[in-house]
Structure 1
Amino acid sequence: MTTLPDGLHDFLAEAGWAGGTIEPLPGDASFRRYFRLRDGERRAMLMHAPPPHEDPVPFLDVAAWLTANGMRAPAIHHAEPEAGWVLLEDFGDDRMRDWLDARPGDERAAYEAAVDALVQLHRLPPGPFAPYDMDAYLREVRLFTEWYAPAMGLTVDEAGHEAAWREALEPLLARQEPGVTVLRDYHAENIMLLDGRSGGPQGLIDFQDALVGHPAYDLVSLLQDARRDVSAALEAAMLDRYAAATGAQDDFRADYARLGAQRNAKIVGIFTRLAKRDRKPRYLAMIPRVWEAMERDLAHPALAPVARWFDANIPGDVRRAQGGKIA
């Protein structure tokens, strides 16, 4: 039997949802928990993001900004952020990942709609969020040397790692001014299909870490998905679609590779940390997919400094294992 968090029933009574059924839903890589509520014909989702590990205020702030600017975030019905409670709109069960698992023929239409939603987002002025700056990029790639390298028994040049990333990423900084809102985890498990069809409107979730940064970042998150295979042909077609809609030039594709490598190095570190520190070994199975995408990104000339670091510090047998032998 699942233990319900303390204070849940008091919050639901305050929100006008006393007496409904409560269905716990599977969790993610965070301390957040989710519950589906049913009360007659009414449906809602309950998020518990308890302090001190979580803070629902950024989620509420980003949801309000997205809604005010015509994007489809869940409506907020009631919230007690100091206790970590948020009652929000139920977007249903049609998550893009699950939809495509059952209907692979809908893949192109679903990805076209997801790219078009990013185009819409990127036409807006950036939101009132912190910048995705060099400090943030470097802090994230350090996760690779802090967690992955030790887990593989490697001693690596950490100063050289940071210097290589700084050199590779520096050229894109000017091109992310004034920037766009970057949701940072925009992929098939965080996109809901709201009207029962693959090409329909996109419901957005898991956006609480939004920053202001480069328009290529969320495109990388979508098309180099850590959790779902996206073919090279589909990735190229969706890049072309985005470029046709926005006028993106060659430097955009170079920045896409830069941010692809950056994001994928970060994810390898995060998934290793989840396995080693948080005892969630299921994330290790995703590392080979992420590693393969990172290798493709490292082949771009824009990543030459980082590619040289990898050649010098990550042995070939480790790279061929694609992270699959973490102790």
Structure 2
Amino acid sequence: MSSDVRAQQLAQWLHAWHKGQPQWSSAMGPLTMISGDASFRRYFRQVFSQGSLVAVDAPPEKENCHPFVAIAGALHDHGLCVPQVLAWSSSKGFMLLTDLGDTLLGSELSATSVNTLYGAAMTALIDMLDCPAPTNYALPSYDRERLLTEMRLLSDWFIPQLLGVTLNEVDAAALEAQFGLIADAIAEQPTGFVHRDYHSRNLMLTPEGELGIIDFQDAVTGPITYDLMSLLRDAYVVWPAEDVSRWIAQFHRQLQQAGKLERHISLSLFARWCDWIAVQRHLKVLGIFARLSFRDGKHGYLNDIPVVYRYALDELAPYAELAPLRAILLRILPEYLARNPSAAPTLESYL
């Protein structure tokens, strides 16, 4: 079904909802698309005299609205600022949400604002960690198999599809062994609610000045450092390593003060947890960005690969037990740079 037909159906569904809502005045103008994302969802805004709402087109053959609806309710009940679901249709794949505005956290970040904004984001993370699971939806577990499946996106999509490289049997076995080592190490961490994509494009500043959280439908129960590292080593914004280390120490301190991390967990161990979970995420992201291009025709994310590649190389460097993985990434780097010469300023120093 074409996107134009879907948009018309969404407008009709919204009109039918509006008929039963006398508190909302007549719509002022048509639905206006405000964004799409890495999924198949599209977002539209409908303006009324007393405010605006966001209508979501999530084709049911591609997307499932139920997790978003259930998790939105749980996060809202826990006191976090998220879009509230006013109406939804599972069969049609439509949702109607309260509108958090247009201001992404990323657009407001600067050297002078980042400490305040990241401070707010980390405080929200502390609160979110013990958000109760929705009563009508079981949060998946970020278990070993899920971690491995994600890391294998590197060997399934990034290496063979984006680079056209076929690993020999020795390297393929080494890569799989390294994935297992990372997954086993991550299992040592305490767990809590994990947003799973907590970064500058999924956090907003509302007109009221609150930190709004969006795009949480893939939430799981998993390692407590995951969302922190999504934020601090964001594919879309890079900060000096000393700043990231300072924020990690701040979060470690906040966790212990809140009673959510045992006092015997040292900062050095916590920082190691952060590096290893960040490696897992960045291996996954390399594969996802390649898959978005080759499978879904969304090529813009390829521009963000150099930063993610650099993150992974830097995160692996301190750990001798992960040297085989770093060596493979370094061996395939010349092929990546040959195909993507614009990445040279970010990555050529690793050659």
TM-score, normalised with respect to structure 2? 0.83
Structure with more relative contact order (C-alpha pairs < 8 Å, separation 6 or more): 1
1:137 equivalent among 147, 152, 163: 147
Aligned equivalent of 1:282, options 300, 325, 338: 300
Contact 1:257 1:300 in 2 (8 A): no
Q: Which residue of 2 aligns with 1:97?
A: 106
1:117-160 alpha-carbon deviations (Å, 9 max, x no partner): 11111244566411101100000010001111112122223333
Q: Report the Cα distance in structure 1 between the residues aligned to 2:293 and 2:325, rounded to whole angstroms.
A: 25
Going from structure 1 to structure 2, the CA distance change for 1:159 and 1:83 (only over 3 Å counts) comes to farther
Q: Distance in 2 between matches of 1:319 and 1:229?
A: 24
1:228-268 superposed Cα distances (whole Å, 9 cap, x missing partner) = 22222321121111011113533221111111011001111
Matched, 1:147 2:186: no
2:123 match = 116
Counterparts of 1:110-259 in structure 2 under 5 Å? 110-124=117-131, 128-150=138-160, 151-156=162-167, 157-176=171-190, 179-195=191-207, 197=209, 201-247=210-256, 249=266, 250-259=268-277
* C-alpha distance in structure 1 between counterparts of 2:89 and 2:271, whole Å: 43
Change (3 A) 1:135 1:317: closer
- 1:75 deviation in Å? 1.1
- The aligned residue for residue 64 of structure 1 is 73
Cα distance in 2 for partners of 1:223, 1:319 equals 28
Q: How does 1:68-87 map to 2 (within 5 A)?
A: 68-87=77-96
Separation in 2 of the partners of 1:234 and 1:174?
Answer: 26
1:61-100 Cα offsets, whole Å, 9 max, x none, are 1101111211211111111122111000100112101222
Q: Which residue pairs with 1:324 in the alignment?
A: 340
- Identify the residue that residue 15 of structure 1 maps to in structure 2: 17
- Partners of 2:130 and 2:193 within 8 A in 1: no
- Report if aligned partners of 1:284, 1:324 keep a CA contact under 8 Å in 2: no
1:37 aligned partner: 46
Q: Which runs of 5+ in 1 are unaligned?
A: none
Query: Which range moved further: 283-292 or 187-196?
Result: 187-196
Change (3 A) 1:152 1:133: same
Structure-2 separation of matches of 1:61 and 1:26:
23
Number of equivalent positions? 316
SS of match in other structure, 2:188:
helix
Superposition deviation, residue 168 in structure 1? 2.7
Deviation, 1:210, is: 0.3
How far the C-alpha of 1:19 sits from its partner, in A, is 4.0
Structure 2 residue runs of 5 or longer lacking an equivalent are: 20-25, 343-351
| Residue type at the aligned position of 1:62 | I
For residue 192 of structure 2, what is the amino acid of its counterpart?
A: V
2-structure distance, mates of 1:106, 1:279: 35
The RMSD of aligned alpha carbons is: 2.3
Q: Residues 14, 79 of structure 1: CA spacing in aligned structure 2 closer, same or farther, 3 A cutoff? A: same
Structure showing greater radius of gyration is: 2
Q: Percent same amino acid at aligned positions?
A: 30
- For the 8 Å contact 1:148–1:269, the answer to whether it is kept is yes
Paired residue type of 2:305: I
Letter aligned with residue 280 of structure 2: Q
Aligned CA distance change for structure 1 residues 232 and 226 (closer, same or farther; 3 Å): same
**Contact 2:74–2:132 (8 Å) recurs in 1:** no
